[in-house]
Structure 1
Amino acid sequence: MDTKKRYTDQVAVITGAADGIGKAIAARMAAEGASLALWDIKETRLKALESEWRAKGIPVKATIVDITEEASVEKAFRETVEHFGRLDILVNSAGIVGPTQTKITDYPTAAFDEIYRVNLKGSFLTSKYALTWMEKSGKGRILLIASIAGKEGNPNMVGYSATKAGVIGLVKALGKEYATTGITVNGLAPAVIRTPMNADTAPEQLEYMASKIPMHRLGTVEEAAAIACWICSDEASFTTGFIFDLSGGRATY
């Protein structure tokens, strides 16, 4: 297979596409021939990216989507298929960190509700409606971005750790549920990746997380894009329900 053109004639929905890991995965898929539906709530940044990539000849449609709202997700998938004529891939990269350096006894319940809505409910909704369309074609790839925090737990980040653990459970359940359909569902569990999302993380919390990485460095969005684009390709046809490590050696299982 020509890995440079793995995504010719395929359509990918990328959430959290305005920056960070989502943007990097979208860029790599575009370079390999994909048409892109870019979803985010950051309207100014997303529309600027759409204009930039269209000027380069990339088939792209940007949509402002709140993945916590079922009607918004359902409508966005329907409009994506109407625009491109098909749906092959979902990469759900949208997520938030929530409070850090915060004991559970001080953790605001409203903050936990919000991080649940984005990280776990958003993963559920995007998967639900992607699968609705993929079932019709009998083929598809879903990649949910989890976190090493979901595997091992980060102290003082209970909301993030718990909801990312939920994403891991969702991947494992859906992978088995759709194992005979031609649709694969996998997850990616990064350690700290240098992205705008962790720019607001408390320095002490960031230092703790980075200190746990045996490679003694942060990951890059390019490294995330490289493994993601293999997971979502036809080359990864015998892997489903699996959580891939992107942790610089931190993962212990």
Structure 2
Amino acid sequence: MTRHIIVGSTGDIGSAIHAGLEGKAEIWSFSRSQTPDYDSIHHFLDLSEPLDASAVENIFKDIDHVDSLIWCPGETLFEMLEDTPLEKVDAQYNISLRSLITFIKVLLPKLRKSGCGRIIIITSIWGRHGASFESVYAAMKGAQEALIKSLAKELAGTTITVNGIAPGVVEGKMTSELSQEDQAFLIQELPQSRFVAREEVMHAVAYLLSPGARSVTGEIMNINGGWYT
């Protein structure tokens, strides 16, 4: 049985990935407070706090293998660095890095048993190029990219690949919260004059999960419509 782990399964991108995989595999999903719209074995976890590795191990203790870990939680933080409380920095670190590393450490033995294990991390265009008023968020996403490239080298001798996807502005809850004026201004900045559809990210995930991508590792796929290329 194919088994995928989706962490951050109720956000715009996570939900689209979940929808695309529903019915094709056994899905284990994780989110902080919402229940997924699609069928899965679901667990609530607050990733903004330090995760107890033994608690994560206990969740997966009865399964022998995992075919993919798809990491897509995220929490926006829009404010100047000098005004950012360290507690918010800690939360960003826990969501983007510490919790991710905890999951990877726990799941690596099970991913090795897959024979075609995949680690796919949804990063951000701001991790590639930086963003004013989002320095902390961008820094954590940049650190994810370094982890992807480093871990891909560590695991190159195995059947596990490690890749990232860096979307640009994705249509969904966050963009819909912007005023019509702000949305129009932002669209003027985008070469394709449109937001990225969530399903486009799902298609990239599907490719990275496929046998045809077994030699693709350590890569960051840009899905930004030509923005910041």
Same fold (TM over 0.5): yes
Summarize the alignment of residues 69-148 of structure 1 with structure 2, pairs less than 5 Å apart.
69-71=50-52, 74-76=54-56, 78-80=58-60, 82=62, 85-98=64-77, 100=78, 102-148=79-125
Distance in structure 2 (CA, Å) of the matches to 1:248 and 1:19? 21
Larger helix proportion of the pair: 1
- In the other structure, the counterpart of 2:41 is 61
In 2, the alpha carbon distance for the partners of 1:204 and 1:173 equals 41
Quote the offset at 1:107 in angstroms.
2.6
Aligned to 2:5: 13
**C-alpha distance in structure 2 between counterparts of 1:166 and 1:204, whole Å:** 33
- Aligned residue-pair number: 228
In the alignment, the residues of structure 1 paired with residue 112 and residue 130 of structure 2 have an alpha-carbon distance, to the nearest angstrom, of: 34
Equivalent position to 1:247, from 220, 224, 228 = 224
Structure 2 counterpart SS, 1:63: strand
After TM superposition, give the deviation of residue 160 of structure 1 in Å.
1.1
For the residue of structure 1 that corresponds to 2:42, the secondary structure is strand
Aligned residues: CA RMSD: 2.5
Deviation string, structure 1 residues 61-105 (Cα, Å, up to 9, x no partner): 11112334332x6534543462x542111100111111x2x3222
With structure 1 as the length reference, what TM-score do the two structures score? 0.80
What percentage of aligned pairs have identical amino acids? Answer: 27
TM-score for both structures, normalised by structure 2:
0.88
Q: Which moved more, 1:233-242 or 1:73-82?
A: 73-82
Checking the alignment, whether the CA contact within 8 Å between 1:245 and 1:251 is kept in structure 2 is no
| Match status 1:193 vs 2:174 | no
